[in-house]
Copies of this chain bind each other. A is one copy, B any other.
Amino acid sequence: MARPTINDVATAAGVSKGAVSFALNDRPGLAPGTRARILEVAEQLGWTPSPRARALSVSKALAVGLVVARPPEVFRADAFFPAFISGLEVVLSERGHALLLMVAEHDDAATYRRLAKEGRVDGVLVTDLQVDDPRPALLAELGLPAVVVGPSVGQEVPTLGVDDGPGVRAAVEHLVSLGHRHIAHVSGPQTMVHGRSRRTAWAEALREAGLPEGVCVEADFSAESGAAATRALLDLAEPPTAIVYANDLMAMAGLSLAVARGISVPGDLSVTGYDDTEIAAHLQPSLTTVTTDVVAWGRAAATRLLEMVDGREPSPVDLPPARLVVRASTGPAPRRP
């Protein structure tokens, strides 16, 4: 038997389909008895409105989009998306919205344009914001509600997310308290907001601790680049005694490289990561890193986006801050000869 339509319900309940629609969306103008009867019939027939038809008539897509603007290799390695998506889904599905996922390799402007033009989504989530990213302006121009996900530092664009500064700062302070004075940083691309904010936090924390400016090598969040950056740091005339990495993947690659060179971690070198990947706790030595509740973050982002789509007041979000998890990859600074 085919899915029942609103007409079937109307006929069965002996009313017009308008009445059924009224009952469903509980709008005023129906006698309580009638409303109850309609709902009962609907229940009994197992009818739920077709999102397709509804989407057409209310001119909404009942879906939001997430454009992954990373090249597949990077997307692949990242611990962020799966957890984030889990969080999104919780909120979206209970509100009857679907999550559309798109992967845009390069020229993602076209993807956003198409999304808006085809009307497949009511709003989008923007991740991996670049410095001077053209997308917020583009989306504003397209009139597509958007929530920019990420740290909120130094952006004109309002963003939603967990600031990574405190986590990175905590890592530096932790190292300082262990006696480290040469704390280097392997950063993400400085073209990306979260690459820049982590670097800034590291630099500031050093300054606050009264230490001289540290060495920073820019990498791109990949294992490969993390290893290369570490190599550069270890080859310095005066190598650092601690390295703060902008993510776990680079930290793990760096840690392995150091070990391969016969450098003891944390005996000779301390390292910290960012993300708290599942494997981080099981490495040898286990990785000191920064953890955030990404699932909660996803929930908050979805909630906010739906509010924007419905034109409601944005409710304040309260996300637990990033937190340093101290493990075995950090230890007292070695005595310098």
A220 to B50, CA, bound (A): 39
A127 → B minimal CB distance (Å): 13
Majority DSSP secondary structure for residues of A touching B = helix
Quick check: is A227 within 8 A (CB to CB) of the other chain?
Answer: yes
- Copy number in this complex? 2
For chain A, the bracket of interface size reads 35 or more
Q: A106 near B: Cβ within 8 Å?
A: no
A157 at the interface (CB under 8 A from B): no
- Contact present for A76 and B83 (CB under 8 Å): yes
Residues of B within 8 Å of A83, CB to CB, are 72, 75-76
- Give chain B residues whose Cβ lies under 8 Å from the Cβ of A86: 72, 75-76, 103
Known: A56-B56, A278-B73. A89 touches B101 (CB 8 A): yes
Report yes or no: B101 in contact with A282, Cβ–Cβ below 8 A. no
Cα distance A55–B53 in the bound complex, in angstroms: 9
Q: Is the CB of A227 within 8 A of B51?
A: no
Q: Does A119 lie at the interface of the complex (its beta carbon under 8 Å from any beta carbon of B)? A: yes
Q: Which residue of B lies closest to A57 (CB)?
A: B56
Interface string of A211-223 (1 = CB under 8 A from B): 0000000000011
* Chain A positions near chain B (C-beta within 8 angstroms): 3, 48, 50-53, 55-56, 61, 63, 72-73, 75-79, 81-83, 85-86, 89-90, 93, 98-103, 117-120, 222-224, 226-227, 249, 252-253, 255-257, 259-260, 277-279, 281-284, 295
